[in-house]
Amino acid sequence: MGAALPEPAPSRLFLSGNDAVALAVRDAGCRVAAAYPGTPSTEILEVLARYPDLYTEWSINEKVSLEVALGASMVGARAFCAMKHVGLNVAADALMTMTVTGTEGGLVIAVADDVGMSSSQNEQDSRFWARFAHLPLFEPADAQESYDMTRAAFALSERFCCPAILRLTTRICHVKGRVIAGERETHEPGGFVKDPQRWVMVPGNAKPRVARMHEREEALRAASTESAFNVLLPGEDRRIGFVVSGPAFMHVREAFPAAPVFKLGQSYPLPLERVRELAAGVDQLLVVEETEALVENELRAAGIACSGKDTLPRVGELSPDVLRPAVARLLGEPVPAKAHLAPQQVFPRPPTMCVACPHLGIYYTLAQLRNITISGDIGCYTLGAGQPWNALDTCISMGASMGVALGMDKGRGEADAKKSVVAVIGDSTFMHMGMQGLLDITWNRGNVTVLLLDNRAVGMTGGQDNPGTGRDIHGETVPRIDFAKLCEALGVNKERIHVLDPYQLPVLFKTLREETKVREPSVIITNRPCVLIDDYQPAQPYKVIADQCTGCGNCLDVGCPAIHVTRRAKEVKPSGKEVELAFTRIETSACTGCGLCVQPCAPEAIVHAAPEHPVKFLHAKI
């Protein structure tokens, strides 16, 4: 990680929402912070790790990160954990019990929802968790509120002895704004107090505490009613009033500056009576919320007439361009014409893997195999589902490749009897939630071949370290997991575990073909580092000898972005069949010399560039 951050001056700062949350956590006197990387929340802990006076860790998954934070809270320390929206699903088991036990030191959970699904497989609304767990919820609308609400959440958590949830969105996490920081607090832990009836959650101890949890929720409602983060902003246009939270507030104010707005900042428990006041003073009330109709349904249940998802979309961000026509229709006004720009001809750039990515050879090889079904997972390697490989058949959730593969094996009928089942999973994902799946495969004698792609990084979120890299969040040397030994300990026959170089295509192809024929669990572990981390060492680049290129296009099947088509042509074979030729070149300044494209080149037209040619490694750290 980078050097420790300097003490911020008590003046205006220019911060993203993630930066602001991290600064607030530090300024609130937090002692322990844990997270699992996941866009859009990753940077919060990366910034916190640069503050030398609090403990930070990348946890193995979100559940563990929340349990670490709870343990710190139990001894009286202020604690924090961060995750993206799907991570809170993983942490739910711990969350739903700690809402019963309560907390001691202030505990804040930052969860970042990916509204619009920029980098996620769903558009989950984490506000549900506050209601499900009966916990207070804060929703900042900008970077300043991200700072202020984080600090307020610690105070509220300690006041009511319960976790507090800070709901962020991708726009809040990544957009920068002005932040004025407050004075830094110190907070000394009071120590652990033995109280088995509180901390040992057997049914006999849990039952009395559930009643306390509901009593606490009513007290939280009163606090929400009084909260300075819940503000009624007057407006002279009384035809419509808005109830809104989070970044959608900014969109409402931009689109309808003259309308009265009730801004929800501490949005759960919902301050119903204050909303009722606004509803009484406007002709119509519109609830603007991303993404589900939670507030709308609560208002209607309380007898407050309103519109919401009957007017506005349930998916995506509610920008002014979305709000204006929707409100016009609601008011019976002409819908404003949308300005249409002339379509721009943009060269298509679908997502793909990096130059020399160690996963390229994996998917090139899988694409050559027949009669296989490939169960995929969450990570950079999910891109194997795209062109030119088309070598991924499923992708559900973190670690699901293992269980799905086992289910495919056990559920197969005659239609799939001759097919082999392959599960593809990355190193960090394997440790996050895949180890249990492999144990289930071995325990239940599944016929699955597992490809464990060890690239020594949490690649998709920026190359963070994990237990397989031998470094902690601060770059300090720590014990490194031996994946071969781990897989053997999980029940895989030692003879069925192979560690190989994914750049060696013949070895990879031979091993995969053999292991998919074996009728027992097997694991193939690849061992090349991600090209974007310091562990990766580029070699001498390659070039295409134009006169020798026959246009076979085999090198394109590898999928490396450094290979470009210079021209296309058609040729009629002696058999009368017409084939398309693709003549290529290699962008030598981007090539790192992995050699993947050399191996399938039929005319041997790919050779090393001149030794004097400088290797310009163009990849940048994410």
> Which segments are annotated as binding site for [4Fe-4S] cluster?
549, 552, 555, 560, 591, 594, 597, 601
What's 109-166 look like in SS3?
EEEEECCCCCCCCCCCCCHHHHHHHCCCEECCCCHHHHHHHHHHHHHHHHHHCCCEEE
What's the CA gap between 105 and 191, in Å, rounded?
A: 10
Can you spell out the DSSP letters for 179-238?
EE--PPP----------HHHHS--HHHHHHHHHHHHHHHHHHHHHHHH-TTSEEE--S-T
Nearest to 65 by CA among 51, 49, 85, 79: 79
Quickly tell me which residue has 């076979």 as its tokens.
552
Q: Where are the beta strands (DSSP E) in 6-87?
A: 12-16, 32-35, 55-58, 79-84
Task: Answer for the pair 297, 268: CB distance below 8 angstroms, yes or no.
Answer: no
Can you spell out the DSSP letters for 411-433?
H--GGGTT-EEEEEEEHHHIIII
Partner residues linked to 262 by β-bridges: 232, 243
Residues in the chain, overall count:
622
Task: Answer for the pair 264, 212: CB distance below 8 angstroms, yes or no.
Answer: no
The secondary structure of residue 397, as a DSSP letter, is: S
Task: Answer for the pair 249, 141: CB distance below 8 angstroms, yes or no.
Answer: yes
What's the CA gap between 607 and 61, in Å, rounded?
A: 44
Binding site: residue ranges? Answer: 549, 552, 555, 560, 591, 594, 597, 601
Task: Answer for the pair 471, 58: CB distance below 8 angstroms, yes or no.
Answer: no
Task: Answer for the pair 165, 129: CB distance below 8 angstroms, yes or no.
Answer: yes
The dihedral sign for the CA sequence 353, 354, 357, 361:
positive
